[in-house]
Amino acid sequence: GSPRCRFHPGAGSIPIRKENRMLRLPLFFIPLLLALLVGCGSRTEESNKLTKEQVETRLAALSCAADEITLPDGPTGGTFRFNSLETPNSLDPAWIRDTASSDIGTSIHEGLIEFDPVDMSVKPCIAESWEISEDGLTYTFKLRAGVFFQDNPCFPDGQGREVVASDFKYSFERVCDPRVASPGAWMFLDFVEGSNAYRDGVSARRELERRASGEGRDPNSEDRFRAAEDAQLQEWAASPDEVVGFACPDDRTFVVKLAIPFSPFIFRLGHSFSWVVPKEAVEFYGDNFFKNPVGAGPFKFVEWIPGQKVVLEKHPKYWMKDANGHQLPYLDRIEVSRIEDTNSEHYELLNGHLDFQFPIPIDQWDSIFDADLNLKADYKRFQVQWVNTWRIEYIGMLNTDPLFKDVRVRQAFNYAIDREEIGSTILRYRAIPNRGQVVPGSMPDYPSEDGPFKYDPAKARELLAEAGYPNGQGFPELTLQLNSAGRDNEKIAEIIQAYLAVIGVKVQLKVVDWRVHLDTVREGKVRFYRLGWINDYPSPENSLMLVWGKNIPPMGENYARYQNEKFDELFEKALSITDIQEQNKVFREAEEVAVQEAPWLFLYTMRRFRLVAPEVRGFPFNAGDRRFLKYTWLDKSS
């Protein structure tokens, strides 16, 4: 999902206020509508189409400072300013599941390991070293001395104290605790020894307390606890009130014991759900900790004015120095504005009030670039960065819904969409058509293969007829829910709407706030929805878990509720394989099972561009879109 469980809201330009807008046109108008949709915003449809070779040639010629970290040789400081198109969901690591939150949280929090800002490989962070036992079950981390939490009133003297091993035990157990209801419980459950027993014990004790007090069964607990007899609950309640797989032999040693070998586990420790927090802050702020975060990262939280801005300042006791011995971070301050309209955001960049814009809005593309992807005169002062990301875009289909239980319906929808047309005309350089890949094609060392779902409206109609809906007859009207992230988002939804109309399926569009969108999808209240996912780390496991049967909410991010025993068997087999090539081979077999059953309507993987102010340095652009602003500085001589 999400460096983090990072679900992406998508991005656009003009905020949409309309809801429940329905396309109602006779079928003979549909080809004309499609021609208008894919051609709008461009010179002509034909001149706008690009071959794969043309795209690659022009990208290669585009100047790109995406893979560089340069060190300053003079004074640093200053304020770095960027915009968030969406309101952050939470700055509490246990609840950071979206990009808007993670983009800010990455500067406030840190964990045992981190990812390299260029290639996303694993690097030491608060853990200066670690050892993994031969059987792959025990991870022993040595914590570096001199790592401090940021100063905050939650501490007795207001001074941030040193981070110790018990802080990680507390933070990780908090993610497993059902009372916290973290969407990141999947990180540890089933994998860490005692994690399931701890969670069951907490839930059972809570259920027994409710019954004893006369409150009755807890409506928010899992079905098995509500249905259990008291004797069964008492058995579960006897479980330890801790995760025994998290141990602290001393303040500088943290040990994790796994229940099963799981080679991608080290990657998970760079996820936002694995960032460390002090117990004092969680208890001091209570339910408001999400908007008063305290961490051990390079910047400390200052203020969050909802709908306006978030402000961070340099953490003066941050532990890290650069290769020349200079203290990080270089910047004094970070300001994150909240502008919904990307055209307004763009003008703020042009006027020097923002230091970069991401993504570059579709409405501004032709103003910035000429036909050969060269910057036009007004933009030559800017830096352009691009990267093939690990981000996939899809339309989710609730597989437990009676309509989408039929695999033929899901397959029909996939054959109904011309991804190449969307990519070559509207998204152009910015997307790679995805005909059926759960794992992004740019995942390192993974044997990716093109998917089966090429545009074939005749095949789509045939499958729909086999499912009992000839020419769409009897198929209920659908609502496609998407979040209010702007014109790009809506434009793609309109095209999906039109393509499905061609096979006789009527769709209306419903646009909602990002938080409402994610919550209702997670709760299984939406059967047809737009969503994206960007891998948190360079492992296909982080993609494939989106369709793993054990990862259905509230435990994880299998929002489509897809379940297949063969997939689960192969996926779980791969998890314990330590040889990467062999593991990836089994992951690929599992992916093939899921793809054939079309759990989603696959759209594309993203190639992302950002426009960066001329003075910005040390701002690499990686496939996971992790923003490590501790390396960023402003070159005042430029």
Task: Quick: pLDDT tens for 244-259.
Answer: 999 999 999 999 999 9
The answer to whether domain 1-41+70-78+338-638 and domain 111-290 are alike in fold is no
Percent of the chain, pLDDT > 70?
A: 90
The confidence score (pLDDT) of residue 26 equals 45
The confidence score (pLDDT) of residue 64 equals 59
Structural domain spans, the chain? 1-41+70-78+338-638, 111-290
The confidence score (pLDDT) of residue 419 equals 93
Percent of the chain, pLDDT > 90?
A: 68
What is the per-residue DSSP string for 2-53?
---SEEE----SSPP---SEE----GGGHHHHHHHHHHTTSS-HHHH---HH
Among left, alpha and beta (phi > 0; psi -120 to 50; other), residue 80 is beta
d(CA 292, CA 303): 8
The confidence score (pLDDT) of residue 42 equals 44
Residue 294's CB: how many other CB atoms inside 10 A? 27
Q: What is the pLDDT of residues 100-139, one digit of tens each?
A: 999 999 999 999 999 999 889 999 999 999 999 999 999 9
Q: What is the pLDDT of residues 193-234, one digit of tens each?
A: 999 999 999 999 988 988 888 887 777 677 788 788 888 889
**Beta pairing partners, 482:** 511
Q: DSSP character for 15?
A: P
* CA-angle at 442, arms to 85 and 630, nearest 5°: 50
Q: What is the pLDDT of residues 501-540, one digit of tens each?
A: 999 999 999 999 888 999 999 999 999 999 999 998 889 9
**Beta pairing partners, 633:** 617
| CB distance 391 to 621 below 8 Å | no
The confidence score (pLDDT) of residue 1 equals 40
The confidence score (pLDDT) of residue 272 equals 96
The residue-averaged pLDDT of 483-503 equals 86
Query: Which range, of 47-56, 94-103, 285-294, 338-347, averages the lowest pLDDT?
Result: 47-56
The residue-averaged pLDDT of 602-630 equals 93
Cβ burial, residue 597 (10 Å; 0-12/13-18/19+): middle
Q: What is the pLDDT of residues 4-52, one digit of tens each?
A: 344 444 433 223 333 444 444 444 455 555 665 555 544 444 445 667 7
d(CA 24, CA 286): 49
For residue 546, the SS3 value is helix
CATH architecture of 111-290: Alpha-Beta Complex (3.90)
The tokens describing 276, both together, are 């460390």
d(CA 265, CA 269): 7
171 versus 226: which is more confidently predicted?
171
The tokens describing 439, both together, are 């794992």
- Superfamily of segment(s) 1-41+70-78+338-638: Dipeptide-binding Protein; Domain 3 (3.10.105.10)
Q: Given pLDDT bands bounded at 50, 70 and 90, which one contains residue 328?
A: very high
- H/E stretch holding 522 reads helix 514-522
d(CA 165, CA 251): 5
Torsion on CA atoms 409, 414, 417, 422, rounded to nearest 10: 150
The confidence score (pLDDT) of residue 6 equals 46
Which residues are within 8 A (CB) of 291 and not within 5 positions of it... i.e. 6 or more apart? 90, 91, 304
Count the alpha carbons within 13 Å of 425 in the hemisphere toward its beta carbon.
Answer: 21
Q: What is the pLDDT of residues 422-472, one digit of tens each?
A: 877 778 788 889 999 999 988 888 998 999 999 999 999 999 999 999 999
The confidence score (pLDDT) of residue 371 equals 81
Which residues are within 8 A (CB) of 581 and not within 5 positions of it... i.e. 6 or more apart? 445
* Cis amide prior to 359 (ω within 30 degrees): yes
Rg (CA), the chain: 25
d(CA 150, CA 110): 12
List C-alpha distances in Å: 168 to 2, 176, 361, 617. 21, 12, 40, 33
The confidence score (pLDDT) of residue 58 equals 78
The per-residue pLDDT of the chain, averaged, comes to: 89
List C-alpha distances in Å: 582 to 441, 447, 578. 18, 11, 8
d(CA 314, CA 334): 8
Q: Distance between alpha carbon 569 and the CA centroid of its chain, in Å?
A: 25
Cβ burial, residue 241 (10 Å; 0-12/13-18/19+): exposed
| CB distance 126 to 163 below 8 Å | yes
